[in-house]
A and B are shown apart, each in its own frame.
Chain A
């Protein structure tokens, strides 16, 4: 007898109602989810259609919430089918081999949770117009994320608890501990920059401890020791959260090396804004950013300030987040619409000109200790700014003419027009960081493309290199508002929407990380603002 398949078959026979419900809920979610992608006024011309769509979207949301709940029930029921807690279970006195029991349970979760989700992902990608076959590696990575961050932790909790009620209480307790910790962290480290290295260190340790707890519990059934492993994994998450704010990790993430990719200076006759909180004075410095090379970009991630008074007294802040201000220099193609409509080749009359997108001036927020500020503000001070900088390089821009319905954007996914911008669906993750630029038309969209044009732009996506994001849906569906989508309002009137006319070229420029570094600049003789 193959013990693995024998136990698997028994579990399948026993839990078929839960399996059936879980598959039905997943199928319902897969069926309903695409409706939310098409939610545009032109698709719902009647009130009845709008009500039906809203109802469908509500049900899709409900199904999306029920899918993980069913996983949770299924995992708990199947793991606790051979309860590992206590010494009165019938099965522990039978010749079960723990490796085979664990394999059988893993096979069950793979067959009835991971595999159906893989199929669901495949169907949803196809429904979204994104070729699943192009994303096989990403689908594999997404399954790995599901296993590591859903199946494994829930399985571990079920393995160290004896009943459904206890696993429920434990799960609630775990969520509460994490929630409170996140809340405390968000409060205490409100302004601080969180390094992704913290996660890189914590996640392998976390997964190692959870896997260790599960294996140990199956091998030895020493519940309190296994619970200890899980408590340690919870401590790792908590510590990892605090660790990610460590200046050491920020310094590791942004090493000080070579020539600075940009130069930062203070604007002439700067107007430094100030606001105060309890023990903190926030200064907003208007700065100039120069030296961004064509085809590249710079993202300001964090800043650390060292303030030195005329008397030589010094105070240094921690690394504070700048929330990814980006500055870049790109060569963009302006184009006009021909009577035949927009095309990238002969129908298009390109007028190339090098323009700088994004501000060349920016704002840098600094947090200063209030007591030091009070002591230092009487005389001009020297500010040394250390900026944690991510260097970006532009990839090949894709120019696509605006359509009235869905249109494909190479390397990004399927997009559709919105009144204020565009909506794009991407496979498995947010798109790679992309700068979107187009021209809004004032007034109506004339057939010949006449009408004043106003540039509209926005960033979409992120800099992550992971092939898939963690989440239920394999389709990232992001609506992006472009700048200047409305004109200045006339007095007493609402703002007037500008138009993205069919055929208007939209330029998608992807950016990738080329390096991370620190830029140091010293600003002398800064007069600090007085209290208002």
Chain B
């Protein structure tokens, strides 16, 4: 399958700070790919490198089959970009902005533009500087969708928006899929869950995983084992068990490699005294919290080992 975006060993350093550390990413054609991660994880940097707004220190990125260095000028006829931090031509009215940008795109669809203006209820006569944040994002989104881009890149598009505006924007985006592949970053997991087809998790410049949303949901289960007797002693936990907690009669953990009935059978074998084994699906938010906590505890553990070896 052709990838809309592909990166290979992408590294970006700002002085001594490594914002991206060898990111390998592939966004399938037609996907709605959500790049998630905490603030400062490197999402915006990755997007800017992909969009040729920043130059990578090492590695390469390919967008719509072309090297990201070539994304400028006419190449942007096929790529829309909206960011929460963009400096818009605030002196323009919405109508003037659309009128100005329209001739830049050979594929601009006037009918779609009118539809988006109606759908987003854009006040055409008002200057951008007088619009609310949500309304400005809608105007930006309309200008980025009306030329039917092959790829739409969104950097934190829903950040700080009220739920109604957020839903309207999502609706507008979903209308354009799969004609338009969407690559967006967000740290709000709830909004992503119902919207994205693929998800990638970026932490401290590293892509921890990147996969299809359905597969991810299938893979993670919150496991609760109610024990009838004593839990067998374990020297080492399986690597795909996260946030393992055990009390006298209950063991809880997050299974990150669940394979349905096969896993259930395995767990019954591992907990022979179990009276009950529950495997609950997890919301995206819980999955990421589990991963993030696990990573943090690993880092703390590694630091302690390092400190101990020094001592």
Show the binding face of A for B, using Cβ within 8 Å: 1, 3, 6, 10, 14, 83, 86-98, 222
Which 5 residue pairs are nearest across A and B when measured between Cβ atoms? A1-B103, A93-B81, A87-B53, A95-B76, A97-B73
The reply to whether B73 and A88 form a contact with Cβ atoms under 8 Å apart is no
Q: How long is the Cα–Cα vector from A154 to B91 in the complex, in angstroms?
A: 24
**Structural contact, A93 and B51, CB atoms closer than 8 A:** yes
Measured in the bound complex, the distance between the Cα atoms of B101 and A91 in whole Å is 9
The one of A10, A87, A98 that contacts B100, using a Cβ cutoff of 8 Å: A10
Q: How far is the CB of B158 from chain A (nearest CB, A)?
A: 18
Q: Which residue of B lies closest to A97 (CB)?
A: B73
Chain A residues near B48: list those with CB within 8 A: 87
Which residues of A lie under 8 Å from residue B87 when comparing CB positions?
A: 83, 86, 88-90
B107, chain A: closest CB distance, angstroms: 11
A–B pairs, 22, beta carbons within 8 Å: A1-B103, A1-B104, A3-B104, A83-B87, A87-B53, A88-B83, A88-B86, A88-B87, A89-B87, A90-B86, A90-B87, A90-B88, A92-B53, A93-B51, A93-B79, A93-B86, A94-B76, A94-B104, A95-B75, A95-B104, A98-B73, A222-B55
- Expressed in whole angstroms, the Cα–Cα distance for A90 and B137 within the complex equals 12
> Does the CB pair A96–B104 fall under 8 Å?
yes
**Interfacial chain B residues near A92, Cβ < 8 Å:** 53
Q: How far is the CB of B43 from chain A (nearest CB, A)?
A: 14
Could you say which residues of chain B place their CB within 8 Å of the CB of A94? 76, 101, 104
Q: Verify A87–B72 contact, CB threshold 8 A.
A: no
Number of interface residues of B (CB under 8 A): 27
How long is the Cα–Cα vector from A469 to B264 in the complex, in angstroms? 91
Interface of B is mostly: mixed
In the complex, number of A-B residue pairs with CB atoms less than 8 Å apart: 51
- Given A10-B100, A97-B74, A90–B105 Cβ distance below 8 Å? no
Chain B residues with a Cβ under 8 A of chain A: 48, 51, 53-55, 72-77, 79-81, 83, 85-89, 91, 100-101, 103-105, 140
Task: Check B76–A6 contact: CB distance below 8 A.
Answer: no
CA distance A87 to B47 in the complex (A): 11
- Closest Cβ of chain B to A178, distance in Å, is 32
User: How many angstroms from the CA of A86 to the CA of B85 in the assembled complex?
Assistant: 12
* A91 and B74 alpha carbons, distance in the complex (Å): 13
> Considering the chains assembled together, what is the distance between the CA atoms of A89 and B81 in angstroms?
11
Chain A contacts of B55 at CB under 8 A?
A: 222
Residues of B within 8 A of A86 (CB): 87
Contacts of A91 in B (CB 8 A): 89
Q: How far is the CA of A98 from the CA of B51 in the complex (A)?
A: 16
Q: In the complex, what distance in Å separates the CA atom of A10 from the CA atom of B80?
A: 22
Q: Which residue of A has the minimal Cβ distance to B89?
A: A90
Task: Give Cα A1 to B76, complex, Å.
Answer: 16
Q: Tell me whether B77 and A88 are in contact (CB under 8 A).
A: no
Q: Which residues of B contact A89 (CB under 8 A)?
A: 86-87
**Chain A nearest Cβ from B100, distance in angstroms:** 6
Q: Which residue of B lies closest to A81 (CB)?
A: B89
Contact of B73 among A14, A90, A96 (CB under 8 A): A96
What residues on A are CB-neighbors of B100 within 8 Å? Answer: 6, 10
**How many whole Å from A7's CB to the nearest CB in chain B?**
9
Query: Do A6 and B103 contact each other (CB < 8 Å), given the known contacts A87-B48, A87-B53?
Result: yes
For residue B140, which residue of chain A has the nearest CB?
A: A90
Query: Using Cβ atoms and an 8 Å threshold, which residues of chain B touch A88?
Result: 83, 85-87
Alpha-carbon separation in the docked complex, A1 to B103 (Å): 6
Q: Output the least CB separation between B147 and chain A (Å).
A: 9
Q: Chain A's nearest CB lies how many Å from the CB of B73? A: 4
Q: Contact: B81 with A87, CB < 8 Å?
A: no
Residues of B within 8 A of A97 (CB): 73-74
- Please give, as numbers and ranges, the residues of chain A lying within 8 Å of B81 by CB-CB distance: 93
Contacts of B73 in A (CB 8 A): 95-98
Is there an interface contact between A14 and B91, defined as CB atoms closer than 8 Å?
A: yes
Q: Which of B74, B76, B91, B103 interacts with A93 by CB under 8 Å?
A: B76
Set of chain B residues within 8 Å of A10, measured between Cβ atoms: 100
A residues near B83, Cβ cutoff 8 Å:
88
Query: B75 contacts which chain A residues (CB < 8 A)?
Result: 95
Interface core residue of A95, A96, A98 (most chain B CB under 10 Å): A95
B161 to chain A, nearest CB (A): 18
Residue with the greatest number of chain A CB neighbours at <10 A, chosen from B79, B87, B105, B140: B87
User: Nearest-CB distance from B275 to chain A (Å)?
Assistant: 58
What residues on A are CB-neighbors of B88 within 8 Å?
A: 90
B85:A95 contact, CB within 8 angstroms: no
